[in-house]
Amino acid sequence: MKKSLGPITIIFPAPVMIVGTYDEKGSPNACAASWGGICSSRPPCLAVSLRKATWTFRNIIQRRAFTVSLPPRKRVAEADFFGMVSGRDLDKFTACGLTPEPARTVDAPIVAEFPLIIECRLRHSIVLGLHTQFIGEIVDVCCEEDCLNAQGLPEVGKIDPIAYVPTVRSYYAAGEVLGPGHSLGQVFIPDRGATG
């Protein structure tokens, strides 16, 4: 039996995106956001929703660029911190001992200690209400070389990433691998035999 919980904002899982931007003086900032993710394959785009009150909102409007650095499990406290205070009041990088480094392809900083980085150029801003959704075209993705697998792709076990579950407000590690996409479901595809 299902129970109605009303219009709450819950999903499993949400990403923990550390959004890097520069302000008008060139000072780096980073904030944590979980409303968003990949939203388009061609062009490759990533969406992140932010409240107008945030310093990052202002920076993205001004610089039209941002990065998303994905924190590893050992940096979950730093990631949480990036979502607790405003860059208007504090140099968050210094406060938590992480290093801002210029992105290679866009006008925004990355978190140097984090293994996987998505560099975006702003394409659309869509006002949804309390949040505005920024859609950035992915210009490049960078990954620590020792986190790549034999195919040259990021390996989840080496990145050791985290997920967030809103409403219940908890961080989770990645669990076990359940299997490959576009493959596990094969068992349900009807056998059409020779009739095509």
**86-91 long-range CB contacts below 8 Å, 24 or more apart?**
86/31, 86/54, 86/55, 87/23, 87/27, 87/29, 87/30, 87/31, 87/55, 87/56, 88/55, 91/27
User: At residue 42, what are phi and psi to the nearest 5 degrees?
Assistant: -140, 105
**Both structure tokens of 136:** 């950035």
Identity of the residue, 24 or 109, whose beta carbon is nearer to a copy of itself in the bound complex = 109
Residue 157: which H helix or E strand, with range? helix 156-159
Identity of the residue, 23 or 144, whose beta carbon is nearer to a copy of itself in the bound complex = 144
Q: Which of 71, 157, 159, 167 is nearest to 110 (CA)?
A: 71
The 8-class DSSP code of residue 26 comes to: -
The 8-class DSSP code of residue 74 comes to: G
User: At residue 177, what are phi and psi to the nearest 5 degrees?
Assistant: -75, 130
Identity of the residue, 27 or 133, whose beta carbon is nearer to a copy of itself in the bound complex = 133
CB of 136 to a copy of itself, least distance (A): 11
CB of 91 to a copy of itself, least distance (A): 10
CB of 100 to a copy of itself, least distance (A): 14
Identity of the residue, 80 or 107, whose beta carbon is nearer to a copy of itself in the bound complex = 80
CB of 148 to a copy of itself, least distance (A): 7
CB of 187 to a copy of itself, least distance (A): 6
Identity of the residue, 168 or 194, whose beta carbon is nearer to a copy of itself in the bound complex = 168
